[in-house]
Amino acid sequence: MKKLCVALLLSSIGFAQTTTEVFLFELSNAHGIWNVGTGKNISNNEGYDSQPSFYSKKSILFSSTRNKQTDIANYHIKTGKVTFLNNTPNGGEYSPQRIPKSKNISAVRLDTDGLQRFYNYNITTGKSNELIKDLKVAYPMWYDKNTVLCVTIIGKGLDLIVHDRKTRTNTTIQKKVGRSLHAIPNSDLISYISKENTQWEIRSLHPKTGETKRIVNTIDKCEDICWLPDGTLLAANKNVIFKYNPTTDKKWTVFHAFPKETFKNISRILVGKKGTKLVLVSE
């Protein structure tokens, strides 16, 4: 499993998986000024640890290397304990997320025979069943319990597809997209990375209408972003997180710079709904 790429992209895409860790930081806001507080390594594990998501205010899911495969790990914030929720002998799980209106978890599974599909995992038994047939999902995001946004491997590229679970239909929104999908606070929109042009863009999408709009250009073709509760965008680039508020800012500015000797290349970032927790992945 260690030879698989970070994003579940097949070898034809040309990426290489690196050794990464998941970090959790305290986040606070005093009179409109955000502060990144103390942090800790919550994966603390040899190999690949990445793709975190909040299961609840009490725990964080992420993909973690165990016995030369990648399983679903659950970090308990209060106790600091990590438990594994599944054991798939012939495959590895990526992008674990809680399914809306359910206690169960979804994840992308890449089997040793190359089959890559999107599965539902029972939180108690760890047993799984396929959620979307015949779609090679790489990066999913639940919009609601019946709508899944899927960055999907089509040929040698990535397309953004909206899957309707009720009708079992797929609608292609755009080709040449990146891996970040996030809900935009206080709206019915989600954000995604468009790679159609030389200058990559962060765009918004209304999954029900299909309408898209440009928000801002990315920084140096970085594609790991998330949102603060106040509607400010965060973007990771090397050891620095930048910020941009579409309603008040004209350009990106530094949100927080981490020590270069500790954080060489920050990738996945996300903030809890209440804005008190910041999770990031770094080499």
User: What is the DSSP annotation of the chain?
Assistant: -TTS-TT---GGG-------EEEEEEEEEETTEEEEEEEEES---SS-EEEEEEEETTEEEEEEEETTEEEEEEEETTT--EEE----TTEEEEEEEEPTTSS-EEEEEEETTS-EEEEEE-TTT--EEEEETT--EEEEEEEETTEEEEEEEETTEEEEEEEETTTTEEEEEEESB-S--EEPTTSS-EEEEE-SSSS-EEEEE-TTT--EEEEEEPSTT---EEE-TTS-EEEEETTEEEEE-TTT-SS-EEEEE--TTT-S-EEEEEE-TTS-EEEEEE-
Question: How far is 176 from 157, CA to CA, in rounded Å?
Answer: 6
3 in a domain, yes or no? Answer: no
Overall domain count for the chain:
1
Q: Is residue 86 part of a domain?
A: yes
pLDDT recorded at residue 134? 86
**Domain-located, residue 20:** yes
Residue 5 pLDDT grade (very low, low, confident, very high; cuts 50, 70, 90): very low
For residue 206, is pLDDT > 70? yes
- 17 pLDDT band (50/70/90 cuts)? low
pLDDT (mean) for 149-165: 96
**How much is the average pLDDT of 8-24?**
60
| 5: in domain | no
| Predicted confidence (pLDDT) per residue in 107-153, tens digit | 999 998 888 999 999 988 888 999 998 899 999 999 999 999 999 99
Better-scored residue on pLDDT, 191 or 113: 191
pTM (two decimals): 0.91
pLDDT tens for 23-54 read 999 999 998 899 999 899 999 999 999 999 99
Identify the domain containing residue 274 by its residue range. 11-282
Percentage of the chain beyond pLDDT 70 is 94
pLDDT value for 127: 87
For residue 2, tell me if it sits in a domain: no
The percent of residues above 90 in pLDDT, for the chain, comes to 81
For residue 199, is it within any domain? yes
Q: What is the mean pLDDT of residues 257-283?
A: 94
pLDDT tens digits, one per residue of 49-98: 999 999 999 999 999 999 888 999 999 999 999 999 988 888 899 999 99
How do residues 214-238 score in pLDDT, each as one tens digit? 999 999 989 999 999 999 999 999 9
Q: Tell me the CATH number at 148.
A: 2.120.10.30
| Domain-embedded: residue 182 | yes
Is residue 12 over pLDDT 90?
no
Contact between 125 and 104 under an 8 Å Cβ cutoff? The reply is no
